[in-house]
Structure 1
């Protein structure tokens, strides 16, 4: 994958991944978060399943199990942990900072597990990226009014995304990104539908603004953001895709300023600069490696 393609897919990932936070703000003005998640995934699953049927897609049980596992980790547990934690009172800035520990965990595990080694410059860049995120979200850091156990939810969500990222890269599944996205989305739709039903929040509001928010997160976040995540992960590696996520809090800040008029805090601009320097150092680390790894036994069987 050449440098220009890396730049295009990386930019798409950052912009589209951060759109999910804006869509959540738009949707939760009219319905609880679990209602928004349920209908986001129902609509996305229906569209993707229809496309899969039209294309005649056929996957074997092992592939469905593999992608269902990744969907549970990267979509259900990640989003469920983050959204539920915020709903219980964990400040959004604190949640963002917790989530930003993920690149460090991926980098620590990627060497022995994937052969993606990070050199000294890359390690400095990763630490700077985390510090930059801290500056960006400094105005919304704190304990809020959440019980201590609520903080375990975004921590668990971050750990689930880390695990899913490493497993996807380790397994190197034969399914295309579209097939992976379809199976994971259908699986997540079932989980979020059940969760919203148990919570008594399955009934959607009739407000057209809610359905506008659903369209936003389906197109930009589910198809765009997670689709770009899969592309960058498979073509650029686990460390690269995780490092780029450092740029999503600054990008979300810009989205929020343009759409809602939210003025960034005094540390936000220097935070963006620190994030950018950190990501640049990490992504240009000459000692980083993206060598192929040997897949787990049986995991690379086509359409298995």
Structure 2
């Protein structure tokens, strides 16, 4: 899995912009409920993308439209709402990050039989080490206090993102990225506006901090991070993008230190180094020809080990 220079830049941009979503969430939820913040994130994103589509006058085939509705419900609705709702019910950020950090391992494990992607044992070791690095990064924030059922929320959020990723790669809708984001933003705007209305929280506050958070979530996190997520998936596959997700907890921690003065412990800094090393191992092509794990053949033959 040799990494070309443009893909390296796209991957780095994805990690930084994706991590900004956690910063926007921390800013915005200080002055409004999560449902309000999410509703206005997608209302504004839908307005911008809808105007762009109207200007371009490009239609979306019905098949692609349905596919992106499903992807939006899973990757935006299911993932974001699960993470935000877990935080509202007392699941601390460390546990939230740790549970969602299972995404790379599960996505790669399912991508082998479902998509036919291959992965080497060396790469699997890198994914396992990445999870250990996340444990070190968030280790100081692993205490309970939330009701037991609340810990299922980040797990469900993680599965929603996995499902959206595998579904997109399996169906491969042909719509360009702006059209895809417009459909997904529209679905999410309807979903979160309904949830906020049900809570009586749709009216946004006048607090400038709230609107700063919305701007971060729309421009940097959605148009940047979420858009680059799909760009990287289409260019380099599920395994590579999943590996890059291990860099988002340490990046978020460093951004929190810069913006909010969060404490950096020696253990968390060690976790940053472990995550970086693990992702390097997972992304690098093996120096030697190692056995490669492939999905079982359609005939029912057992999965075989072939040379990479």
Q: Normalising to structure 2: TM-score of the pair?
A: 0.91
Q: CA distance change for structure 1 residues 57 and 289 in 2, over 3 Å: closer, same or farther?
A: farther
Counterpart in the other structure of 1:301: none
- Structure 1 vs Structure 2 CA RMSD: 1.5
SS at match of 2:134: helix
Separation in structure 2 between the aligned mates of residue 289 and residue 67 of structure 1, nearest angstrom: 31
Residues 18-59 of structure 1: per-residue CA shift (max 9 Å, x gap): 000000011111111111000011001100110011011201
SS in 2 for 1:267: helix
Deviations 1:74-97 (A, max 9, x none): 010000000000110001100000
The corresponding residue for 2:67 is 66
Question: Matches of 1:289 and 1:39 in 2, distance apart?
Answer: 44
Distance 1:129 1:2, change over 3 A: closer
Equivalent-residue separation in structure 2 for 1:204 and 1:178 (angstroms):
26
Equivalent residue number for residue 219 of structure 2: 219
Instruction: Report the count of equivalent residues.
Output: 289
Q: State the SS of the aligned residue for 2:119.
A: coil
Structure 1: runs of 5 or more not aligned: 291-304
* Of 70-79 and 166-175, the range deviating more from structure 2: 166-175
Q: CA deviation at 1:2?
A: 6.5
Partner of 1:297: none
Q: How does 1:220-259 map to 2 (within 5 A)?
A: 220-259=220-259
State how 1:4-153 maps to structure 2 within 5 Å. 4-143=5-144, 145-153=145-153
Q: Give the alignment's TM-score, normalised by structure 1.
A: 0.92
What does residue 299 of structure 1 align with?
none
- 8 Å CA contact 1:121, 1:285 repeated in 2: no
* 8 A Cα contact 2:41 2:217, kept in partner: yes
Contact (CA 8 Å) 2:16, 2:248: kept in 1 or not?
yes
1:266 deviates by 2.6
Q: Deviation digits for residues 145-181 of structure 1, max 9, x if unmatched? A: 2111111111100001011111111112111111111
Bigger-Rg structure (1/2)? 2
1:31 and 1:110 map into 2 onto residues whose CA distance is 38
Tell me which stretches of 4 or more aligned residues in structure 1 moved more than 3 Å.
285-290
Distance 1:264 1:198 in 2: 39
Which residue does 1:176 correspond to in 2?
176
Distance in structure 2 (CA, Å) of the matches to 1:153 and 1:267: 27
Structure-2 separation of matches of 1:259 and 1:285 = 36
